[in-house]
Amino acid sequence: MSMYFHLRAVPPPALRNSANWFQRLFDDDWDTVRERIGRHREEVLDKRYLDHELLYSGIPPNHAPDGPPCQVVLGGRPVFHPDAAQPPFLLLTAAHTARVAAYLTSADFDDLWEHARERLLRPYGDPDTEPEVRGAFAATHRDLTAFYAQTARYGDAVVKWLIL
């Protein structure tokens, strides 16, 4: 089964606080989304999205008593899907999006990698894979940073959903 974690930027005036609207947002293709909300920006993480969350959460200096101070991957207010078997949508307001963008643009990937390295390499077993694995995480970090920075510049919100 293929799982993808989608993050879509939405201008606040176009945003509806409705699970049905969120469902249509993710059902539509890019061109339809662009036509409906005026522009389109999306980031997609594959089934290893939880590994990317690990990069940003629970490690010094990113750990806070009530959880990570940043909501890069899994953060957001849940909006429950009408089908209880489906995962909820997650909504980051424009203000939260700006905080995530500020965090990512100031984060040092080398520090993030160093703190999470052992846990991130564990599933791959072979130490020789480190350059390739590290490169993949660094590329995703750059993509997420660019997505959130551009989204924050527009003053947009982010809607996230795990598509099964």
Are 124 and 133 in contact, with CB atoms under 8 Å apart? yes
pTM: 0.86
What the block records as the tokens of 122 is: 């564990």
3-state SS, residue 157:
strand
- Supply the CATH number for residue 17's domain: 3.40.1760.10
Give the pLDDT confidence of 100-149 residue by residue, as tens digits: 999 899 889 999 999 889 989 988 888 789 999 999 999 999 999 999 99
Are 74 and 68 in contact, with CB atoms under 8 Å apart? no
What is the residue range of 129's domain? 4-163
Q: What is the CB neighbour count within 10 angstroms for residue 156?
A: 26
One-letter amino acid of 156: D
Domain count for the chain: 1
pLDDT-based confidence at residue 71 (cuts at 50, 70, 90): confident
Residue 65: pLDDT over 70: no
The closest alpha carbon to 139, from 131, 128, 129, belongs to 131
Residue with tokens 């077993």, as numbered in its chain: 125
